[in-house]
């Protein structure tokens, strides 16, 4: 197994170099969909290791903006940060500007795993336009499914490393030393949008704005559904098997 591809250019923005991803048999270009906390980020990390494609998370970029000094944040960033902590979506124009600035990452020879984008029909249409302009297509859109009470349990136990974005769970994926990141040693924290009031807003927002994307991608014959129960490795195997079956049926 290769290691996770660190998308420095995606996280830090244009003008930053990336480690070149290891060569892959063929680039894999996926969108990962699913309710907040279903495990998209966890699967994106595992898929990145296995497929050599970059994990491109809009949430990670927006959380990076939060770490900037207040004087370095634009008014749009301030609005985005406030929306995130309430559990609401960041306005489409802000998210699309972030993705357009990083369009190089869609061209990466290793492929990409879009995690948290698109999240509205307007974002999906904009992604279609960006990919068409680059003469690229999606291999599939993977939708992870899990009952809501199990998702809420995943969110309430999540701890993250603000330094390197590693994700843990106090019960199912604890760090080796309590409260410390295995990868960089930094302190682990609870995300402020994992508070119960923000989680409620995120779930309602998902149903209203993001769930309609399932029909959007069914209509384009791109959607595959993967049950998100079991261990992360079991879900990874299920995802790869589902993608293999899809690829074989289209060959």
DSSP tally for the chain: helices H, then strands E: 10, 7
CB of 129 to ligand AP5, least distance (A): 15
User: Annotated catalytic, 202?
Assistant: yes
Considering 40, 63, 102, 154, which one is annotated as catalytic? 40
User: Annotated catalytic, 183?
Assistant: no
CB of 66 to ligand AP5, least distance (A): 10
Q: Select 9 or 191, whichever has its Cβ closest to ligand AP5.
A: 191
Residue nearest to ligand AP5 (CB): 59
Considering 102, 154, 158, 159, which one is annotated as catalytic? 158
Determine how many CB atoms are found less than 10 A away from the CB of residue 41.
21
Considering 119, 154, 159, 183, which one is annotated as catalytic? 119
Q: Give the whole-angstrom CA distance, residue 82 versus residue 201.
A: 13
Q: Select 60 or 139, whichever has its Cβ closest to ligand AP5.
A: 60
Q: Give the whole-angstrom CA distance, residue 220 versus residue 101.
A: 26
Q: Return the residue matching tokens 């990390």.
A: 45
User: Annotated catalytic, 40?
Assistant: yes
Q: Give the whole-angstrom CA distance, residue 64 versus residue 81.
A: 10
Task: Say how many Å lie between the first and final Cα of the chain, rounded.
Answer: 26
User: Annotated catalytic, 119?
Assistant: yes
Q: Select 83 or 223, whichever has its Cβ closest to ligand AP5.
A: 83
CB of 84 to ligand AP5, least distance (A): 4
Interface residues with ligand AP5 (CB under 6 A) are 34, 36-42, 57-59, 62, 83-84, 87-90, 95, 116-117, 119, 123, 154, 157-158, 167-169, 172-173, 193, 202, 231-232, 235
- Residue 184 burial (10 A CB sphere; 0-12, 13-18, 19+): exposed
Q: Give the whole-angstrom CA distance, residue 75 versus residue 131.
A: 29
Hey, which residues are catalytic here? 40, 119, 158, 191, 202
């Amino acid at each position: 197994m290769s290691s996770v591809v660190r998308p420095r250019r995606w996280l830090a923005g244009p003008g930053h170099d990336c480690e070149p991803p290891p060569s892959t048999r063929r680039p894999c270009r996926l969108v990962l969909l699913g309710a907040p906390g279903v495990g998209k980020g966890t699967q994106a990390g595992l898929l990145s290791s296995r497929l050599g494609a970059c994990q491109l998370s809009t949430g990670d970029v927006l959380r990076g903006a939060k770490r900037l000094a207040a004087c370095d944040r634009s008014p749009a960033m301030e609005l985005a940060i406030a929306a995130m902590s309430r559990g609401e979506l960041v306005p489409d124009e802000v998210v699309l500007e972030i993705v357009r600035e990083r369009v190089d990452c869609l061209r990466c020879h290793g492929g990409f795993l879009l995690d948290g984008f698109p999240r509205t029909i307007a974002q999906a249409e904009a992604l279609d336009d960006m990919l068409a302009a680059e003469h690229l297509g999606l291999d599939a859109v993977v939708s992870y499914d899990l009952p809501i009470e199990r998702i809420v349990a995943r969110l309430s136990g999540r701890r993250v490393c603000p330094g390197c974005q590693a994700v843990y769970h106090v019960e199912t994926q604890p760090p080796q030393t309590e409260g410390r990141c295995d990868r960089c040693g930094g302190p682990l924290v609870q995300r402020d949008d994992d508070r119960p009031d923000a989680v409620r807003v995120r779930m309602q927002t998902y149903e209203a704005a993001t769930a309609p994307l399932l029909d959007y991608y069914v209509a384009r014959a791109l959607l595959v559904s993967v049950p998100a129960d079991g261990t992360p490795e079991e879900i990874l195997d299920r995802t790869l098997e589902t993608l293999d079956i899809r690829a074989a049926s289209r060959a």
